[in-house]
Structure 1
Amino acid sequence: MTAPGPPPPDPPLRTAAAARYAGLAGAVLLTVAGYLGGALPGAPLGATPVSIWRAPNGPATLICWLIGTALLVGAWWSLRAGAPSGRWAYVTAGLWVLPLLVAPPLGSRDVYSYACQGWTYAHGVDPYAVAVAAAGCPWVDAVAPIWRDTPAPYGPAFVLLAALAVGVGGGLTGTVVALRVIAVAGLLLAALCLPGLARAAGVPTRRAAWLALAAPVIGVHLVGGAHNDAVMLGLLLCGLLVVIRRPGRPAALLVAGALLGLAVTVKATAVVVTPFAALAAVHGRHTVRALLRDGGALAGGLLAALLVTSALSGLGFGWVGGLTRSGDSEQWTSPPTAVGLVVDYAGALVGRDPHAVPVVRAVALLLLAAVVVVLWCRAWRALRASGDPASVRARVTLHGAGLALAATVALSPVFHPWYATWPLALLALTATRTTWFVLPTAVAFLALPDGTNLARFTKAPGALAMTALLLTALILPVWHRQKRPPAAQDPARTWL
């Protein structure tokens, strides 16, 4: 990671205005598509692309969805170097979200799973032991079939929020509205924390806010789909901001640890950020003693949040077992799953059935642990070499956390479009290049408004393409490194 270069030039005002209103038109079209053929409670999930096209309002739904997505993606990508100002970025992101606030659930039926899990808990049943169908949730028909017979994979903090939404909302519509309000609250918390984190990392707020808040996956999936990833990201960024602003202060670190712990008890993915938060917690030079002292205070707050939420909910740590069922879906959008599918296809050609998907997934999780350790060690060495200037500490730790989340997305057993928001929020604060941001734009096209995942219809070719892409991504850097002459690098400035 290198220090940020000079700020990018301001985009022409005419270009910025065109992008603003093109994106707003795209958001309106997506909302129209949602009402024509979105994930409404009684709408059946499309079995094939042809059946979706032939459904009532099918052509109009798909045309509005594709044009709306293209407008949003194009508008966001055109200003990837930065909006005219931070205020402009916030106002525009807010404008794009407004139509989606009143849209039906978009791109996924997960919000109905949340509602049924909250209903299950509110009626005295353990959602980690009993699936929503067996619990008798009255809204189970709205839940995607694959998740009707699986336990909740989310932490107790989110189960409590889902139960609160059920209590406030009453019926299904009210509960969905309450869950969207909760998601928007999480997104607002993240938006409040972004300027402080951007200043600490030494990047323009207008660039970080645009990349992190105006991205199509944010509006469509975190607001339109009401995914709990918004709550996780809000708590995560808030905890990191406290750590970076108040390193070495036990009381502040306990609060930061509690915020990070709450993020983990919403979605366990947040746990990969905590080792880098411990590095950010150290005040002064990074020594083992300082890490144990300040990182210990952070860990204390995190452990307290885990214990309190588990005890308050009365569910204990049963949610850990539910995580194992999140990989029931096998789709090529997960690189490990794609590789496993290709091995299975190759085995079928010679009359074998190697069942490679579980094996490759297990290897990928071990590799993920190794990657996180390597990233942490490199960050540690960079911080020890830097003498701990505040901006270097913020950039190194935030970048390491963002890369750890990116590795988590790439090596997880499953991938859904909204998973791209995890690393997006942190790498928007530190990345010096925007090339990789094409990935969140690409995944915006994977889901249809009714929750149909297009990956379902391209399993074999998708698995082959993903495996080829993965091999290319592994080979190209090695090839370029061999062609490039070695150069001495300052580990505090270039640690990857």
Structure 2
Amino acid sequence: MRPWWWVFAGLMGVLVVMGAVNADLHGLLEHRASWWRPLVTFPAHAVILLAWWQLGPRWKRPLLTAAIWSLPMIFSFPLHSRDVYAYGATGWQVDNGFDPYVTTLGAAGQPGLLVGIHWFDTTSVYPSLQLDIFGLLSRLAGADLYWTTVAMRLPAVLALVILAFVLPALARRVGVDPRLALWAGLLNPVILVQWVGGVHNDALMVALAAAAVLAACDLGWRGWRGLVVGGLLLGLAMGIKQSAALFGLGLVAVAWQLRRREGDGWGRLAATAVVPGAITVAAFLASSVSFGLGWRNPTAGNPIEATSNAPLSWVASFFRYHELLPVATANQLVSLASSVLIAIGIVVVWVLLGPRGDTVARPWPFLVAVLVVACVCGPALQPWYVTWFIPFFVLCRLGGRWNRLWLLGVLAAGLLPPLQDLISPYVAMAILAVPLFLMLRSWGGTGYSPLPVA
């Protein structure tokens, strides 16, 4: 098939997914998908993935293709997630003078009724800057449910525009073809479906974090200007979602690779970390003036409450189902276990890949590995969480084995959502694990690499 036919095939896949999801809304209230929906949406997702794969990293129109596939999703009801209704409820609260850190989501009129059973009686978990943006978009849409959903996609569109500039610039710095970076990190169906279709605020967080890393590559003002600007951008990213703090470790590693000179040691590395770190914290606190740090309230939604793709969420679900511990106690224990595991994992990754006084080590694999550890060991893991590191993977310039695992991860994140509309995440993962394992095994020792190896 000619490339433009694959663009058309991907567009048809998007339209089929939208049609099936929008035809199965059950009056918008939270409801498991009808039995037939995955039978339609799963093959459609597979077609989108196949079309993206067939276009390949040498495709000359990745940005235009991303626009063609994304445009219909802007006007769709949310795909595979109800998060946007929480955004809409929060925006309604802000626009009407309520404090989202005090008033529960369910009190926010119609969007509050749609947020889902796990979050109805909880307060907002997002930072103050994000609340301000939700309020602005809700006001822009006149608090209309449909148009608020459309408006909440504008940050995702902005995120794609930012990545369209940032990814090629980062790729050139590490000797990677910019077209490969755009194909793998922006045109990727997981990015487009989850950011635009699923309406997740991870989009702007990741884009600002990527811009922060690029800024840190600037060596002006004797090497400090990039650290200042990078810290500022990372602080704004944290204002969108607190998880952006994890990118700070990778930012320092990348910055150290460019700044270390013969004779530099731990003191210089510490300064390279402290300067952007302090500015990040200051920018985050400055962006929180509207509502403060109320997201830390005990009434805020706890990600452990909902079973997800995170192994620790299964442990919490087991405790709840068998009533082995009070719910609050079980959640606290799982949260503590998650924090300990993430800390241990990051230390291990730092020892293996991270910067030290006498070496720059491997900054890009370090950045990605930190994010992977946080996802796998976290109390919650959703398919859209993998968009944290998808844009950065090709910058690592890894070999065939890691590229194969990357492809399997993309396939899993792309195919799990339609299954999880109907069945539990751990069941969906078990079902999908079989064909993915067989695919990995079929490659065996062939040395096959799905990405060009630089």
User: Quick one: which amino acid aligns to residue 413 of structure 2?
Assistant: V
- Give the Cα separation in 1 of the matches to 2:422 and 2:175: 39
Q: Pick the aligned partner of 2:183 from 204, 210, 217.
A: 210
Q: RMSD of the alignment, in Å?
A: 3.2
For the pair 1:225 / 2:198, whether they are aligned, the reply is yes
Query: What TM-score, normalized to structure 2?
Result: 0.83
8 Å CA contact 2:354–2:366 kept in 1: the answer is no
Query: What TM-score, normalized to structure 1?
Result: 0.76
For the pair 1:375 / 2:312, whether they are aligned, the reply is no
How far is 1:131 from its partner? 1.1
Q: Deviations over 1:60-114 (max 9, x none)?
A: x5554233211012223445xx4224x4222222222122222222111111110
Structure 2 residue aligned with 1:7: none
- Give the Cα separation in 2 of the matches to 1:453 and 1:71: 18
User: Quick one: which amino acid aligns to residue 238 of structure 1?
Assistant: A
How far is 1:162 from its partner? 0.3
Structure 2 residue aligned with 1:25: 12
User: Quick one: which amino acid aligns to residue 46 of structure 1?
Assistant: H
Q: Deviations over 1:171-202 (max 9, x none)?
A: 22332222111221122112221001111222
Give SS of 1:144's match: coil
Structure 1 residue aligned with 2:280: 302
Q: Assess, with a 3 A threshold, how the Cα gap between structure 1 residues 321 and 208 changes in structure 2: closer, same or farther.
A: farther
Q: Assess, with a 3 A threshold, how the Cα gap between structure 1 residues 195 and 218 changes in structure 2: closer, same or farther.
A: same
User: Quick one: which amino acid aligns to residue 35 of structure 1?
Assistant: N
Count of matched residue positions in the alignment of Structure 1 and Structure 2: 423
How far is 1:413 from its partner? 0.9
User: Quick one: which amino acid aligns to residue 27 of structure 1?
Assistant: V
Q: Pick the aligned partner of 1:437 from 407, 418, 421.
A: 407
8 Å CA contact 2:303–2:379 kept in 1: the answer is yes
- Give the Cα separation in 1 of the matches to 2:121 and 2:382: 19
Q: Deviations over 1:253-275 (max 9, x none)?
A: 22210110111121111111112
Structure 1 residue aligned with 2:85: 112
8 Å CA contact 1:340–1:358 kept in 2: the answer is no
For the pair 1:75 / 2:46, whether they are aligned, the reply is no
Q: Assess, with a 3 A threshold, how the Cα gap between structure 1 residues 148 and 246 changes in structure 2: closer, same or farther.
A: farther
Structure 2 residue aligned with 1:8: none
Q: Assess, with a 3 A threshold, how the Cα gap between structure 1 residues 115 and 322 changes in structure 2: closer, same or farther.
A: farther
- Give the Cα separation in 2 of the matches to 1:411 and 1:341: 16
Give SS of 2:247's match: helix
Structure 2 residue aligned with 1:414: 380
List 4+ stretches of structure 1 deviating above 6 A. Answer: 342-345, 354-357
Structure 2 residue aligned with 1:191: 164
How far is 1:365 from its partner? 2.2
How far is 1:125 from its partner? 2.0
Structure 1 residue aligned with 2:451: none
Of 243-252 and 116-125, deviating more is 243-252
User: Quick one: which amino acid aligns to residue 403 of structure 2?
Assistant: T
How far is 1:26 from its partner? 0.9
Give SS of 2:358's match: helix
Q: Equivalences for 1:78-477 in 2 at 5 Å? A: 78=54, 82-85=56-59, 87-134=60-107, 136-172=108-144, 173-246=146-219, 249-282=223-256, 283-285=259-261, 287-311=265-289, 313=290, 315-321=291-297, 325-331=301-307, 333-339=309-315, 353=324, 359-381=333-355, 384-385=358-359, 396-432=362-398, 433-435=402-404, 436-448=406-418, 453-456=421-424, 465=430
Structure 1 residue aligned with 2:29: 44
How far is 1:340 from its partner? 5.5
Q: Assess, with a 3 A threshold, how the Cα gap between structure 1 residues 455 and 414 changes in structure 2: closer, same or farther.
A: farther
User: Quick one: which amino acid aligns to residue 141 of structure 2?
Assistant: G
- Give the Cα separation in 2 of the matches to 1:357 and 1:171: 34
Structure 2 residue aligned with 1:490: none
- Give the Cα separation in 1 of the matches to 2:124 and 2:403: 36
Give SS of 1:245's match: coil
- Give the Cα separation in 1 of the matches to 2:199 and 2:278: 31
- Give the Cα separation in 2 of the matches to 1:292 and 1:183: 34
Q: Assess, with a 3 A threshold, how the Cα gap between structure 1 residues 357 and 125 changes in structure 2: closer, same or farther.
A: closer
How far is 1:431 from its partner? 4.8
Give SS of 1:265's match: helix
Q: Mind listing any 5+ residue stretches in structure 1 that lack a counterpart? A: 1-13, 54-58, 387-392, 473-496
How high is the sequence identity, in percent, across the aligned residues? Answer: 28
Q: Pick the aligned partner of 1:35 from 3, 6, 22.
A: 22
8 Å CA contact 1:222–1:228 kept in 2: the answer is yes
8 Å CA contact 2:156–2:199 kept in 1: the answer is yes
8 Å CA contact 1:128–1:322 kept in 2: the answer is no
Q: Assess, with a 3 A threshold, how the Cα gap between structure 1 residues 308 and 382 changes in structure 2: closer, same or farther.
A: closer
User: Quick one: which amino acid aligns to residue 412 of structure 1?
Assistant: G
- Give the Cα separation in 2 of the matches to 1:83 and 1:431: 14
